[in-house]
Structure 1
Amino acid sequence: MGVIERGVFSDMTSRQPMPLAIPPAMVKELRHLLASAISDAKAYDVPGLCRRLNLADGDEQEAFSSKYKYAQKRLVEVSAEQVVASARQLAAEEQHFELSEQLAKIDELNGPAVTILTRRRLIALFEGRPLAREIDDIELIRSLWPIGSMRAPHPSDEATLEDYLHRHTIRNDDLTQRDVLETLGLLSCSRAHLFKFLAAVTAPDAFSGNEQVELAGKIDGLLRHDGYTLALAGRISGSPILRCAAGADRIAGGCEHLRNARRFRPDAGARALDHGYGAARLGTGGRDHIGTHPARRRLQMDPRSGGRDLAGG
């Protein structure tokens, strides 16, 4: 298997069966997010974009007056099903993180939730430790959230969430890991995005060797309470790539032995994959062929400083 992709927007808009009933508050929020996404277009393109999304026609003069109101007026006239269909079409063509997240949450109404309690326990696994050792935390975060365009939390003097994290984790180091993850929205994000985060922090370019195995085992143990598991999806250069899957009891082998693992052996992972087993077989003794790097400080390198270490001040 090739290198696993961790793009911000991939796998977030795949078509799912329409829920029997979408809560009105979710439909209202989807209308708002879709109108906002449409308003990102040039005013003279908005009427044509709305037509393409199967919304009512209009003229450029109305769009020039207010792009958002132009789109919102047409969205309130159509059914929830049409709003969802139009949102899916736009999200498939353009990158709109919040719109894609709302679509994912609507899709997930059909399945069991990962509870707030489980999410808090998952966040607690990273208290006092980095999100990754093989790469800097900020690199992992950028691969999952468009922090350069996300707003900083209120009240804050920073324009973007990236500026906010830079100030409070690099220059001042006054945010805990829990603060960072809750600010990123891990307590309320879609299940799909949570699973992307868990796949990223257990990937071989985040942690390797025993540390990867032990972290994956702890995550798996927490997910099982909500009916999910961390399963083997493939391997790269002999190292396991893990994914979250539904139905813990249906995964042959699961991660039962992973929680007790002390050594990682790449050939054991290959045999597990060949037999359709989960990540359980990845830690059954043998020599660690990867090793670990010394621990780095969280978000230690300032990308704007040409690599200068600003962690201390």
Structure 2
Amino acid sequence: MPPPPSAPLAPLRSAIVEALYPTSANILPVVCEGLGLASGDREEAFASKRNYVQGRISGLSRERLLQLAYQLLQDGPNYELEEAVGRVEEAGERLISELLRRSIGRALIPFDLSGHVPIFEFLRDIWPIDRLPSRLYSGGTVQDDLERHMHRNADMDNDEALEAVGAYTCSQRRFFRFLEALLHPRTREEDEQRRLVAILNPLLQRDGFHLAETSSISGYPVFTVKAISGSAGAPADPLISETLAAFDEASVHEAWTRALQRRTTHPEGAITSARTLLETVCKHIIEDAGGTYSDRDELPKLYRTAAEHLQLAPDQHTEEVFKTILGNCQNVVNSLASIRNKLSDAHGRGRKAVRPSARHAELAVNLAGTVATFLVSTWRARQASQP
């Protein structure tokens, strides 16, 4: 297997040079020696501080340059140096495209970007908007642009604001920091968190990432961008996500997204979400078909009712192969209801109760997603065939 591509080191060297440039020429040789660089004298430093540093780092390896950059960053944040480090360390890793970043920006247009947090405070936590040069006016800053066009003129949407701060071209780690801040409990309430996750995950999955619920603060979920690998993702996930989002994004797709997020991190909750997904799909289909159900109806009965409206009940077919397949679907649903009752977090349990593992949750979630997609696709096909 060929080695992963490496990022050009020139931008990192340039960022190191600029990070040291404010140092007085009187003490630059001492500072450089303290960083482990070759010694020199003040006369050389006075001739050109940039050349002094450049000459001492030009032959350094990638690892040594990164070590030097992290030494400098210990003195305080430095946006340009942080970005250069990010570019080098991300080389060869899985990356999301600029096209996808822009798709995310457009998807965020209807939302309040900073939620409960003042917009400038929110953005300054990620980008130094009060120092970044304006892309619109000479001599101004990005913060000046945002103040004029987001506040005073109200003619800049979220997509344009993200373009202004450099969200579409910054390092991936910074863009992911933005997404995680966007969804943090400090920024917005849980219902809006989950609506955003339901919208963003189908986009992120295109490049192999997803927003996973990794922890909580006072019961509020905290989401982290994770690469989809191993059991974190399955080939059918994007197709199921697309189908369920088109059917009903507000509740059905939200239940599916929650099940996906919990599949490896919270198996018990994932099994509960898998059953909730199927219950929600069945109820939607029954309602759309003009049928009724009771609040006391459990998943097996809801599925039978929905299947009858869709003509999927085994006794509605004469071909033995279809009767077998549809009967097995009913068995899958009954088993999901049973495993949820025995292993999920929906009921209290004793000390010796069996706890589900990630593989149990993966099976339950994938089965629920497949059955839900089959029901939705069948309902859409029946609607399309009606005159």
Contact 2:5 2:92 in 1 (8 A): no
What is aligned with 1:297?
Answer: none
Confirm whether residue 114 of structure 1 aligns to residue 96 of structure 2.
yes
Q: Secondary structure at the match of 1:110?
A: coil
Partner of 1:101: 83
Q: Which residue of 2 aligns with 1:22?
A: 6
Residue matched to 1:212: 193
- Greater CA drift, 121-130 or 70-79: 70-79
- Which of 158, 163, 170 is residue 144 of structure 2 equivalent to? 163
How do 1:1-313 residues align onto structure 2 when only pairs under 5 Å count?
A: 21-23=5-7, 26-153=8-135, 155-158=137-140, 160-247=141-228, 250-251=231-232, 260=249, 262=251, 274-275=266-267, 281=273
Residues 21/86 of structure 1: CA separation in 2 closer, same or farther (3 Å cut): farther
**Helix, strand or coil: the match of 1:231?**
strand
Structure 2 distance, partners of 1:37, 1:228, is: 33
SS of the equivalent of 2:112 reads coil
* Counterpart-to-counterpart distance in 2, 1:91 and 1:276: 42
- Kindly state the Cα deviation for residue 192 of structure 1 after the two structures are TM-superposed: 1.0
Alpha-carbon distance in 1 for matches of 2:48, 2:212: 48
By how many angstroms is 1:115 displaced? 1.0
Contact 2:117 2:187 in 1 (8 A): yes
Change in CA separation of 1:20 and 1:53 when aligned onto 2, cut-off 3 Å: farther
CA spacing shift, 1:157–1:86, aligned 2, 3 Å: closer
Deviation at 1:163, TM superposition (A): 2.5
Superposition deviation, residue 31 in structure 1: 0.9
Larger radius of gyration: 2
Out of 81-90 and 185-194, give the one that drifted further: 81-90
Q: Is the 8 A contact 2:190 2:221 kept in 1?
A: no
**In structure 1, C-alpha distance between the alignment counterparts of 2:32 and 2:251, rounded to whole Å:** 57
The percentage of counterpart residues that share the same residue type is 29
Q: Given the superposition, is the C-alpha separation of residues 116 and 172 from structure 1 closer, same or farther in structure 2, using an over 3 Å criterion?
A: same
Report the Cα offset of residue 274 of structure 1: 4.8
Displacement of 1:136: 2.4
**Structure 2 portions without partners, runs of 5+:** 278-387
Q: AA paired with 2:163?
A: E
Contact 2:6 2:92 in 1 (8 A): no
Q: CA deviation at 1:248?
A: 5.3
Deviates more, 1:58-67 or 1:133-142: 58-67
- Whole-angstrom CA distance in 2 between matches of 1:282 and 1:211: 21
User: C-alpha distance in 2, partners of 1:76/1:175?
Assistant: 43
Pair 1:104–1:281, CA change in 2 (3 A): farther
Contact 1:27 1:80 in 2 (8 A): yes
Shift of 1:63: 2.4
CA spacing shift, 1:155–1:283, aligned 2, 3 Å: farther
1:157 CA drift (Å) = 3.6
TM-score by length of 2: 0.59
Secondary structure class of the residue paired with 1:219: helix
| Cα distance, 1:69 vs structure 2 | 2.8
**CA distance in 2: counterparts of 1:22 and 1:111, whole angstroms:** 10
Are residues 196 and 235 of structure 1, via their aligned partners in 2, closer, same or farther at CA, if it must alter by over 3 Å? Answer: same
Q: Describe the SS at the equivalent of 2:33.
A: helix
TM-score, normalisation: structure 1? 0.71
Structure 1 position 227, deviation (Å): 0.9
> In structure 1, what residue type is equivalent to 2:79?
F
Q: Tell me how far apart the structure 2 counterparts of residues 276 and 84 of structure 1 sit (CA, whole Å).
A: 42
Distance 1:249 1:214, change over 3 A: farther
Number of residue pairs the alignment of both structures matches: 260
Following TM superposition, by how much is the alpha carbon of 1:228 offset from its aligned partner in structure 2, in angstroms?
A: 0.9
Rounded to whole Å, the distance in 2 between the matches of 1:32 and 1:201 is 32
The CA deviation string for residues 47-68 of structure 1, in whole angstroms up to 9 with x for no partner, is 1222233322212233234332
Closer, same or farther: CA 50–230 of 1 in aligned 2, 3 Å? same
* d(CA) in 2 for partners of 1:214, 1:283: 19
Distance 1:283 1:145 in 2: 41
SS in 2 for 1:186: coil
Give the secondary-structure state (helix, strand or coil) at the position aligned to 1:240.
strand
Q: CA RMSD in A?
A: 3.4
